[in-house]
A and B are shown apart, each in its own frame.
Chain A
Amino acid sequence: MQRKLFWTGIVFMIPITAILFTFLFLPILQSLYFSLTDWRGVGSYKFIGLDNYKAIFHDKLFLESLKRTIVIGVCAAFFANLFGLIFAVLLDQKFKTKNLLRALFYLPNVIPIVVAAFVWRYILDANTGLINTLATKLLEKKVFIPWIDSPDYVVYSIIYITVWQMMGPIIIIYLAALQGVPHDMKEAAMIDGASKFRIFMNVTVPMISPAITVNVLVGLSNGIRIFDLPFALTGGGPANASETLAIRIYRYAFQSVDLGYGMSASFVLTIVALVITFCFVALSRRFEKGAHGA
């Protein structure tokens, strides 16, 4: 039977594998290949080694977008997990409105990013925004906080909105993990006189560490891919202050039409995604080992 199934299995895998290679893996390899050439989209090209990479690593716009992307990814992943876990613990209680509350906490993740960006722009705009208008009325003096109109503030606003937006699935995964923690372990610790906080840190957290790994990865990988939100919220502005790596790639490709730079930046994004993942997985393995050894 295994033999018969072997060939069937291959036939079953062919369609989606072909699509996956043509439209995801191959383009990544192409971006690596063409980043080493002076290709301009049409016609012949020649290899120029690492010249494109040298150029983008001297481009201030690229370097800043790279740094910003990593900051947004790491901060968003951290806060989405911190609050996600706290909210999951709350939603794990025996509330009467449990189901409705879960839906409400999940909801931001369902809202189209363009919609979210427009509503948040309406809330955060420096001149006509809701927060500044209400604060001006309440304090009876002009309040002017440029939440998204100042290069100093805009990244924080984007991190905040990203956390708001990505928390839903993270909460659900934590909730599922929390419900898998056996009660007798917590009870045993309680009889030993451990405080609730210590039980949480020493029993619950180690038990749900696989969920923590998954969720941090979800946060990191969504965070460093971020394109839609800053693109629709501020267009990468003001003064490129909210330009992420994905937006920079878009600009190289469609505005300045530096395809070589665009391909190089694309490959850098792939590498960043892979390196962050591997570092984090290695780190969490070591941590889990340490926790079991203790």
Chain B
Amino acid sequence: MMGKNWKLIGLELFTILLALFISVPLYLVMINSFKSHQEIVTRPLALPTFSVGFDNITRAFERMDIVRAYTTTLSIEAIAVVAGIFLSSLAAYAVARINHSGFRFMYWVYMSGILIPIQSAFIPLVYTLKGMGLYNSLLGISLVYMAVISPFAIFVFTGFMRTLPKDLEESAFIDGCSPFRTYLQIIFPLIKPVTATLIILQFIYIWNDLLLPLVLVSSKDYPTVSISLYKFFGARGAADLSLLFGGISLALLPILVIFFSFQRYFIKGLMAGAIKG
């Protein structure tokens, strides 16, 4: 029994080493955000002496116009994630509950949406949005994000809803409750865990995406966080590493805070979703 224990500890140490290896880029961001350019060049792996304090981050904060970038990204997130996930859950409810060939057919239509890359749709999209007067607008890009995230959301929601018992809704119907109210008061509370997981997942996707903001909006009018970072350092290269790492922290920090606050919940939700899906 003793031998088995040691084996497990050895395996755990090995896994920790692997995790550290995978985390090297993140470690570099954390230490180098608090070093001067000179320190980064001469002692790249050393822990910071904090000689520059939060200077890198405040400098990047002032020069990158990051507040506008946060506002833009969060506005897109607010429209696209909230509306996209909610509307997907409605469609998933219909598909999961109604036993009719038309609805089964629609399920496969939605599923085919998972396979289609948005990367092969963006040229016509530019012209579609221009024709509707939605090119270079927050609503336009948010609608496109809703289209991108909805097939996967419908897939996950449908899988989950099919496992829910029907009795509660049926008694609500008999009591004369309208289908929409039944949905809001009975189904929606039950799917909250999946909803939370999907929201975090899609929030991260939109925060990180580069392609759609690049082609669907002008970075002058609507600079998202990823685009701001890309444009800011794409133009000047990495001549000033301390500024680069300051900027990187600004793009990374909010997403890390969200990930670590919901981490346990999130990974559990993903695992539960994976089993049902």
Stretch at the interface among B47-55, B56-64, B206-214: B206-214
Residues on A with C-beta less than 8 A from B248 are 115, 118-119
| CB nearest neighbor in B for A17 | B91
The answer to whether B255 touches A110, judged by C-beta atoms less than 8 angstroms apart, is: yes
Contact with A along B210-233 (1 / 0, CB 8 A): 110011000000000110011001
The answer to whether B121 touches A134, judged by C-beta atoms less than 8 angstroms apart, is: no
The answer to whether B238 touches A116, judged by C-beta atoms less than 8 angstroms apart, is: no
The answer to whether B120 touches A28, judged by C-beta atoms less than 8 angstroms apart, is: yes
Interface residues of B in 111-125 (CB under 8 A from A): 113-125
Contacting residue for A118 out of B95, B110, B233, CB 8 A: B233
Residues on B with C-beta less than 8 A from A101 are 15-16, 19
Report how many residues on chain B are interfacial, defined by Cβ distance under 8 Å. Answer: 96
The answer to whether A270 touches B117, judged by C-beta atoms less than 8 angstroms apart, is: yes
Q: Tell yes or no: A23 within 8 A of B by CB.
A: yes
Contacting residue for B180 out of A8, A22, A28, A249, CB 8 A: A8
| CB nearest neighbor in A for B148 | A24
The answer to whether B44 touches A15, judged by C-beta atoms less than 8 angstroms apart, is: no
Cα separation A115 to B225 with both chains bound (whole Å): 10
Q: Tell yes or no: A5 within 8 A of B by CB.
A: yes
Q: Tell yes or no: B2 within 8 A of A by CB.
A: no
Cα separation A25 to B114 with both chains bound (whole Å): 11
Contact with A along B141-181 (1 / 0, CB 8 A): 00110111011001000000000000000100100000110
Residues on A with C-beta less than 8 A from B78 are none
Contacting residue for A105 out of B22, B103, B210, B255, CB 8 A: B22
Cα separation A34 to B128 with both chains bound (whole Å): 13
| CB nearest neighbor in B for A161 | B25
| CB nearest neighbor in B for A33 | B124
The answer to whether B210 touches A114, judged by C-beta atoms less than 8 angstroms apart, is: yes
Stretch at the interface among A58-66, A143-151, A172-180: A172-180
- A20-B147, A118-B233, A177-B274 known; A123-B28 Cβ under 8 A: yes
The answer to whether B110 touches A12, judged by C-beta atoms less than 8 angstroms apart, is: no
Q: Tell yes or no: A207 within 8 A of B by CB.
A: no
Contacting residue for B97 out of A9, A111, A175, A263, CB 8 A: A9
The answer to whether B271 touches A95, judged by C-beta atoms less than 8 angstroms apart, is: no
Q: Tell yes or no: A205 within 8 A of B by CB.
A: no
| CB nearest neighbor in B for A9 | B94
- A20-B151, A263-B123 known; A250-B267 Cβ under 8 A: no
Q: Tell yes or no: B70 within 8 A of A by CB.
A: no
Cα separation A266 to B8 with both chains bound (whole Å): 50
The answer to whether A176 touches B113, judged by C-beta atoms less than 8 angstroms apart, is: no
Contacting residue for B238 out of A20, A106, A118, CB 8 A: A118
The answer to whether A12 touches B94, judged by C-beta atoms less than 8 angstroms apart, is: yes
Cα separation A93 to B220 with both chains bound (whole Å): 50
Contacting residue for B23 out of A1, A6, A8, A107, CB 8 A: A107
Interface residues of A in 150-181 (CB under 8 A from B): 164, 169, 172-173, 175-177, 179-180
The answer to whether A225 touches B128, judged by C-beta atoms less than 8 angstroms apart, is: no
Interface residues of A in 184-211 (CB under 8 A from B): 211
The answer to whether B154 touches A16, judged by C-beta atoms less than 8 angstroms apart, is: yes
User: A residues bordering B, Cβ < 8 Å?
Assistant: 1-2, 4-6, 8-10, 12-13, 15-17, 19-20, 22-28, 30-31, 34, 41, 87, 90-91, 93-97, 99, 101-116, 118-123, 128, 130, 133-134, 164, 169, 172-173, 175-177, 179-180, 211, 214, 221, 224-225, 227-228, 231-232, 245-246, 249-250, 253-254, 259, 262-263, 266-267, 269-270, 273-274, 277
Listed from nearest, the 7 A-B pairs whose CB atoms lie closest are A9-B94, A23-B147, A30-B124, A27-B121, A27-B124, A269-B120, A176-B274
Beyond A122-B244, A172-B270, list 4 extra A-B contacts (CB 8 Å): A19-B87, A19-B150, A22-B128, A112-B252
Mind listing 23 A-B residue pairs with CB under 8 Å? A5-B97, A5-B179, A15-B90, A19-B146, A23-B121, A24-B121, A95-B8, A101-B16, A104-B20, A106-B267, A108-B25, A110-B256, A112-B251, A130-B44, A169-B270, A225-B119, A228-B211, A250-B214, A250-B215, A263-B123, A269-B117, A270-B117, A277-B115
